[in-house]
Amino acid sequence: MIQPEVDPWGFDEQPVETLADVLAPQAPDLMALALFLAFAYVSFRRKSVRLKYLALVLAVGYMGFTKSTLISITDVFRLVDRDLPVFRSALVWYAFAGFTLVSTVLWGRFYCGRVCAFGALTQLTDAVLPSRWRVEVPRAIERRAAWIKFAVLAGVLAYYAATHNVLVYRYVEPFWMFTLVGTTPMWIGLGVLLVATAFVRNLYCRFLCPLGATLGIISNLTMFRIKRWSECQTCRICQKACGWGAIDGPKILVTECVRCDDCERLYADQQKCPHWRILDYRATKKVLPLRPV
């Protein structure tokens, strides 16, 4: 007589995890993330100032203080180590990191301009503080200072490669502030940074952030870039309006541009952008229209 197979480890009794079991606990966060990212994208496509500031408020309130969900230099460490989280239990992380990467290849530092809670906080601060407080950084200094963030990125990656100390992120990123957990020196450093940001627009993002530097490097692949007119060579209205030092004459510096829309709204404004008036003039004189460069 054939004996029934014995299952000494009790595997047959183990419940099998279904897709529903994996999704159910993560579904609310996944849905909320998808809604937020969709809203940020719509605000970007519509070039609406009101929707943009609403997206920034959501970034600070929901992504920052409610969920503390930010992409960080620690995620770059993970990629370097190829030590990624288990897919089924980290769907939100994969969705968020995937969106950040894909959006950067498509539009550049869209993440910095609309999704990152700290960048959103400094943009909101910039919008409410009196503009007479602003200190304009001379162009030559600004260009050189923009390289600091790449040096910070190289330094922190070298330090991590040598020590594998993930906690180094606390010295180069202020994102921990959204958890409201930090030591006294960390809060003092953050206070100094925020006060300095009141005078120099987007100081941390422009000059210091190693994640911004990483996304800036990836932005060299950007597929959908901002159009420019041949008049941009001499006009420079957009260059003065850009709060990120990302315009140099007719050129957009993709490593610095965060797709904030400010120049694109100017560019489309037929009252403010000289391109349209020149176009009108040429049309009345029956001269061929100018084309984007």
Q: Which two tokens stand for residue 93?
A: 């992380």
Give the DSSP H/E element, type plus range, for residue 160: helix 148-163
Query: Which position among 63, 211, 218, 232 is part of the footprint of ligand SF4 (CB under 6 A)?
Result: 211
By the 8 A CB rule, do 239 and 255 touch? no
Structure token pair of residue 67 = 């969920």
Q: Calculate ∠ Cα 206-210-211, nearest 5°.
A: 95
Among 119, 177, 178, 232, binds ligand SF4 (CB under 6 A): 119
Using CB under 6 A as the criterion, what x/- string covers residues 218-247 for binding ligand SF4? ------------------------x-x-xx
Residues in the chain: 293
Which C-beta is closer to ligand SF4: that of 3 or that of 131? 131
Interface pick for ligand SF4 out of 118, 160, 169, 176 (rule CB under 6 A): 118
Task: For residue 52, state whether it binds ligand SF4 (rule: CB under 6 A).
Answer: no
Among 16-24, 26-34, 139-147, 257-265, which window interacts with ligand SF4 (CB under 6 A)? 257-265
* Closest alpha carbon to 220 in 109, 94, 122, 129: 109
- CA dist., res. 186 & res. 57, Å (int): 24
Instruction: With CA atoms as reference, report the closest residue to 117 among 173, 197, 175.
Output: 175
Figure out which of the listed residues 116, 137, 168, 273 binds ligand SF4, where binding follows CB under 6 A: 116
Strand-pairing partners, residue 247, are 252
Stretch binding ligand SF4 (CB under 6 A), from 14-22, 60-68, 113-121, 151-159: 113-121
CB of 75 to ligand SF4, least distance (A): 11
Q: Which of 55, 54, 201 is nearest to 130 (CA)?
A: 201
- Say whether residue 260 binds ligand SF4 (CB under 6 A): yes
Decide whether 88 or 251 has the Cβ nearer to ligand SF4.
Answer: 251
Gap between the Cα atoms of 185 and 163, Å rounded: 22
26 vs 182 by CB, closer to ligand SF4 = 182
Residue ranges that bind ligand SF4, judged by CB under 6 A: 112, 116, 118-119, 204-205, 209, 211-212, 242, 244, 246-247, 252, 257-264
